[in-house]
Structure 1
Amino acid sequence: MHTETERCVRAVQSKDARFDGWFFTAVVTTRIYCRPSCPVVPPKPENMTFYPSAAACQQAGFRACKRCRPDSSPGSPEWNQRADLVARAMRLIGDGVVDRDGVPGLATRLGYSTRQVERHLRAELGAGPLALARAQRAQTARLLIETTTLPMADLAFAAGFASIRTFNDTVREVFALPPGELRARAPKRTGVAAGGALTLRLPFRAPLNPDNLFGHLIATAVPGVEEWRDGAYRRTLDLPYGHGIVALTPQPDHIACRLTLTDLRDLTIASSRCRRMLDLDADPAAVDGQLRDDPLLAPLVDKAPGRRVPRTVDEAEFAVRAVLGQQVSTAAARTHAARLVTAHGRPVEDPEGGLTHLFPTPDELAALDPETLALPRSRRATLTTLVRHLADGSLRLGPESDWDEARARLAALPGFGPWTVDVIAMRALGDPDAFLPSDLGIRRAAQGLGLPHTPAALTARAAAWRPWRAYAVQYLWATDDHPINVIPA
């Protein structure tokens, strides 16, 4: 979008927050870059230039605006609605792969050469993977500086910097202030690193309807791993450097996020995974605008706009849970998953009580005895086959996965019909166009609205909803009186 100069100028002049994260405005006279909704008086159009990423602005010598804090914008919705090389690379960078494994590690996960990855990222985003990861580290550093009392040395390594000097230089370059002054100017701190706990604000593009989003997570919560307490969805997180516990509370203009981490180096990864689970980088204007074009869907969208697709913090975990939930009730699926967690999950300590385990990894489930599973024999085979393929790497469902390839591999496994493949595509892979025409709730909702309700006919009608059919599923599900559509009082 950054190449559409007239459209970008109009967005900046109207301070349109819908475009935050889509592009960044750099002002050539002040050498400052901003988000489109920056509250200051817009510069003259001839003094504006536009970039596709904060990293590109930084590489061009611009520093971040102190008023609008462009580094804290919602992420571009592009990376969660596409499955090409650049989108997969951006999801992996957000998951901290470059910081942990370098650019060669990123390229290996993507199945391309480092040169190809560099070329594609520079062509679309104006910056290579190192610069993009550096911009992310700078954002994390600012967050920690302003919201914690961590000593600067500890903070630098928690943000992913290899040295104190690099940390100091980057903060000065990006924010035009040394770390100490940045902390001194910060507003009242809302998060204190006491016992590793941090309080963050996760931004999103309005509107956001939390009912089906949190309702789904709460209704399907696995005891010991997830819970709803005091208005917050809480769960354990298995992270690269340790584990964590997160509490997420919907607020009118953000999601309040409280994180307890065993290693602060996991901060960026944990917040990125929570954003992905809650689909916070979605563009509701684009989604709802297209779905409103269908006169039978329009009343649902107008009644409760901004529905998101509830996703996951762990793709392998969700795939296992999808198999456990085949052809059983929500309560039965939770019971099966809880037994698996108790038998094979790693115990964790929850300072607030209530959460007891991490969900077991494929490696931890690889040795399970199928005879111990209270499942039909065919479903035992489905589960153990899935676990084996996840553990040996022949099936990958992570941020780097190619959606079409993953679908094909899932469909080739025994016991994986269209419903299971598509629900994994929707909630684990993050495909915004995944569709469930055979789902009983979808067919019932379609019939009630006067839509075709046989799978073939509904699929034909839903072609007009593409590429947002996963969001149409949420609106259709919401017509049912089911716990997944309600946040408990």
Structure 2
Amino acid sequence: MYRDRERCIRAVQAKDQRFDGWFFTAVRTTGIYCRPSCPAVPPKPANMVFHPSAAAAQAAGFRACKRCRPDTSPGSPEWNVRADAVARAMRLIAEGVVDREGVTGLATRLGYSTRQIERQLNEELGAGPLALARAQRAQTARVLIETSGLPMSDIAYGAGFSSIRTFNDTVQEVFALSPTELRRRAARAAKPPAVPGVIGLRLPFRRPLTPDNLFGHLVATAVPGVEEWRDGSYRRTLRLPYGHGVVSLTPAPDHIGCRLALTDQRDLQVAIARCRRMLDLDADPVAVDEQLSRDPQLAELVAKAPGRRVPRTVDGAEFAVRAVLGQQVSTAAARTHAGRLVKAYGTPVEDPFGGGLTHLFPAMETLAGLDPETLAMPRSRRTTLTTLVAALASGEVDLGGGSDWARARERLAALPGIGPWTVEVIAMRGLGDPDAFLPTDLGIRKAAQALGLPSAPAALTRHAAAWQPWRAYAVQYLWATDDHPINLMPQE
């Protein structure tokens, strides 16, 4: 979008929040860059330069605006919609792959050479993988500086910087403030954390957002010991690259409150990225709802509760296992099966918030050694589960952030006992494909029939072609016609 200069100028002059994260406005006369909705007086169009990423603006020598804090904008929706190499690279960079494995590791995961990846990212985003990772480190550092009492040396290490000097120089260059000045400014309005060692921050999103089905689905299917709803917040444990964490997520009108307790601060950015992905916070609800509303049968549903998100997951492999456990059983039975698995094979952890979280969901390598005879389910489903776990543990099936969606679908479909419904629900919630569709789902077919839509799977699929590329969101609106707990905001 940043190449459409006139459209960008109109968005900046209107202070349109919908475009935050889509592009960034740099101002030649001030040397700063802003989000489109910056509350300051818009600059003259002649002084505006548009960049596709914060990293590109920083690479061009611009500093982040202290007023609108463009580095905290919602992420671009493109990285959730697209499945090409650039989108996969961006998802992996958000997962911290460049910091842990370098550009070579990123390229290897994508199946390209480092030169190809650097060229594609520079052409589309105006910055290479190192610059994009640097911008991410700067944002992580800012969060730690402003929300924790950690020494600056620990923050530099936790944010992924190789030295204190690089940390100081980067923060000064990006934010035009030293780390100490950043902390001093934040301290004026900051509240002390309710729990020592807990990082508190806000997760922004594009409005509107209807949280009912989002949190309702997560809580109704919550695995005992791994997830819970407590004091108005969805809480869960997280298995992370350097350690583990516990997160508490609280819906608010203009943000999601997030409290994180981590065993290793280097996992902060990964934890944030996974929580944003789980809650689908980088979606563009205006574009989604506009497309779906063109169908008269869906228009009323969208108008009633605009901005529905797709409840996703923090771990695609975990969700795939849970999807198989839930085949042909009730939601309560699926939770029971998953809870038994967690109790037997999960890693015990302590809940720093004093709640009921007790375990991490088992790692696939651990589940690969389970005895199928201990599973209280039909033999055919045991075979499906053990085959799936083996494929996930070996890497034959990749459901991570940088996975190839088409290849993942093919390999899932080749496993015994995994049919189209299971493949598509994993694609929707595990992979994050916004166009995944479940035409054989009973709830979808009942909702379609009640709305006067075709209910036969083949006919419904043909009709739903007009909903592309947002069919996963149409699924949420159709499911919401039922009063199942997955569609209701949890109550205490």
Task: Tell me how far 1:196 sits from its aligned partner.
Answer: 2.7
Q: Would you say the 8 A contact 1:419–1:436 is kept in 2?
A: yes
Aligned-residue Cα RMSD (Å) equals: 0.9
Q: Would you say the 8 A contact 1:238–1:358 is kept in 2?
A: yes
| Cross-structure match for 1:207 | 208
| Cross-structure match for 1:293 | 294
Task: Tell me how far 1:487 sits from its aligned partner.
Answer: 1.5
Query: Cα deviations across residues 291-343 of structure 1 (Å, max 9, x unaligned)?
Result: 00000100000000000000000110000000000011000000000010011
SS in 2 for 1:419: helix
SS in 1 for 2:321: helix
Q: Would you say the 8 A contact 1:39–1:68 is kept in 2?
A: yes
Q: 1:473 to 1:47 in 2, by over 3 A?
A: same
SS in 2 for 1:296: helix
| Cross-structure match for 1:82 | 82
Q: Would you say the 8 A contact 2:215–2:490 is kept in 1?
A: no
For 1:152, the aligned partner's letter is M
Task: Tell me how far 1:13 sits from its aligned partner.
Answer: 0.2
SS in 2 for 1:265: helix
Task: Tell me how far 1:150 sits from its aligned partner.
Answer: 1.4
Query: Cα deviations across residues 110-143 of structure 1 (Å, max 9, x unaligned)?
Result: 1111111101000000000000000001111111
| Cross-structure match for 1:269 | 270
Write out aligned runs for 1:364-383 (5 A). Answer: 364-383=366-385
SS in 1 for 2:359: coil
For 2:168, the aligned partner's letter is N
SS in 2 for 1:80: helix
Query: Cα deviations across residues 344-385 of structure 1 (Å, max 9, x unaligned)?
Result: 001001131301110001101001011110010100000000
| Cross-structure match for 1:180 | 180
Task: Tell me how far 1:182 sits from its aligned partner.
Answer: 1.5
| Cross-structure match for 1:17 | 17
Query: Cα deviations across residues 406-462 of structure 1 (Å, max 9, x unaligned)?
Result: 000000000011000000000000000000000000000000000000100100000
Matches of 2:55 and 2:260, distance apart in 1: 26
Normalising by structure 1, report the TM-score. 0.99
SS in 1 for 2:150: coil
For 1:280, the aligned partner's letter is L
Q: Would you say the 8 A contact 1:191–1:199 is kept in 2?
A: no
Q: Give the counterpart of 2:389 among 384, 387, 410.
A: 387
Q: Would you say the 8 A contact 1:191–1:200 is kept in 2?
A: no
| Cross-structure match for 2:318 | 317
| Cross-structure match for 1:26 | 26
Task: Tell me how far 1:275 sits from its aligned partner.
Answer: 0.2
| Cross-structure match for 2:101 | 101
Write out aligned runs for 1:342-361 (5 A). Answer: 342-351=343-352, 352-361=354-363
Q: How many residues align?
A: 489
Q: Is 1:406 the equivalent of 2:411?
A: no
Q: Would you say the 8 A contact 1:25–1:48 is kept in 2?
A: yes
Matches of 1:58 and 1:465, distance apart in 2: 37
Matches of 2:199 and 2:193, distance apart in 1: 6
Q: 1:82 to 1:191 in 2, by over 3 A?
A: farther
Matches of 1:211 and 1:317, distance apart in 2: 23
| Cross-structure match for 1:304 | 305
Q: Is 1:233 the equivalent of 2:229?
A: no
Q: Is 1:487 the equivalent of 2:489?
A: yes
Q: Is 1:460 the equivalent of 2:462?
A: yes
| Cross-structure match for 1:279 | 280
For 1:155, the aligned partner's letter is I
Matches of 1:459 and 1:432, distance apart in 2: 15
Write out aligned runs for 1:138-217 (5 A). Answer: 138-186=138-186, 187-190=188-191, 192=193, 195-217=196-218
SS in 2 for 1:26: strand
Task: Tell me how far 1:193 sits from its aligned partner.
Answer: 9.6
Matches of 2:146 and 2:100, distance apart in 1: 24
Matches of 1:190 and 1:221, distance apart in 2: 31
| Cross-structure match for 1:339 | 340
| Cross-structure match for 2:423 | 421
Task: Tell me how far 1:488 sits from its aligned partner.
Answer: 2.1
| Cross-structure match for 2:4 | 4
Matches of 2:192 and 2:237, distance apart in 1: 19
Q: Is 1:244 the equivalent of 2:245?
A: yes
Q: Would you say the 8 A contact 2:25–2:34 is kept in 1?
A: yes
Matches of 2:68 and 2:214, distance apart in 1: 28
For 1:67, the aligned partner's letter is R
Q: Would you say the 8 A contact 1:196–1:262 is kept in 2?
A: no
| Cross-structure match for 1:65 | 65
SS in 1 for 2:202: strand
Matches of 1:455 and 1:397, distance apart in 2: 26
Q: Would you say the 8 A contact 1:149–1:193 is kept in 2?
A: no
